[in-house]
A = this chain, B = another copy of it.
Amino acid sequence: MTGLDALLERYARRLARRSDRRGFLAALGAFVVGGAALPLLPIARGFAGDGGAKGAPAEVAGPEGDPTRCEYWRHCAIDGFLCSCCGGSQTTCPPGTEMAPLTWIGTCRNPADGKHYAISYNDCCGRGYCGRCFCNRNEGDRPVYHPYRSNDINWCVGSTSQVYHCSTALVIGLAEEGQPEK
């Protein structure tokens, strides 16, 4: 196999790993920021009343610690363009977009400390597809009849404009356990 053949095979493998160009993020719960359009699930109760910002967990080196990479540990259930590649970061929307008030929560293990964290995959909305750093991982994803665990739903649904631009991955706290279904 020549070098280019190997490259082509890598491309094929990568395609095989990616299942969805535009979908949304796996969910373990949901909460509303500054509203009560949906019931707050227990997992979100500890965070609904304040703005967070108590400091992020430690990060590791390499792709699992790089927010512009699909391998980043917080992205274990993400499905979309990474805001870190679009003018924002894993916690910040790009200029001119709006962070979706409705979201859904995954659980990802941080290799830096071995702990599981609850991750809120807030979409950034109101501009068209970012088009960079597409990433789809489906740990814990469920069909759309179980909406707050479904990463196929356009979660800009609660925003001013439902046009999807990119996705963030905010830590909202420690989770006691990881994903149950293995």
A4, A5, A8 interface centre (most CB from chain B within 10 Å): A4
Majority secondary structure of chain A interface residues (helix, strand, loop or mixed): helix
Interface size of A in residues (CB-CB distance below 8 Å) = 4
Q: In the complex, A106 Cα to B5 Cα: how many Å?
A: 43
Q: A2 → chain B, closest Cβ, in Å? A: 4
Query: In the complex, which residue of chain B has the Cβ closest to the Cβ of A2?
Result: B2
Contact with B along A5-29 (1 / 0, CB 8 A): 1001000000000000000000000
- Residues on B with beta carbons closer than 8 Å to the beta carbon of A8: 4
CB distance from A4 to the nearest CB of B (A): 4
Cα–Cα, bound, A103→B2 (Å): 49
**In the bound complex, how far is the Cα of B4 from the Cα of A2, in angstroms?**
9
Closest residue of B by beta carbon distance from A3: B2
| Docked CA distance A5–B2 (Å) | 9
Q: List residues of A whose CB falls within 8 A of some B CB.
A: 2, 4-5, 8
Q: Which 4 residue pairs spanning A and B have beta carbons closest together? A: A4-B4, A2-B2, A4-B5, A2-B4
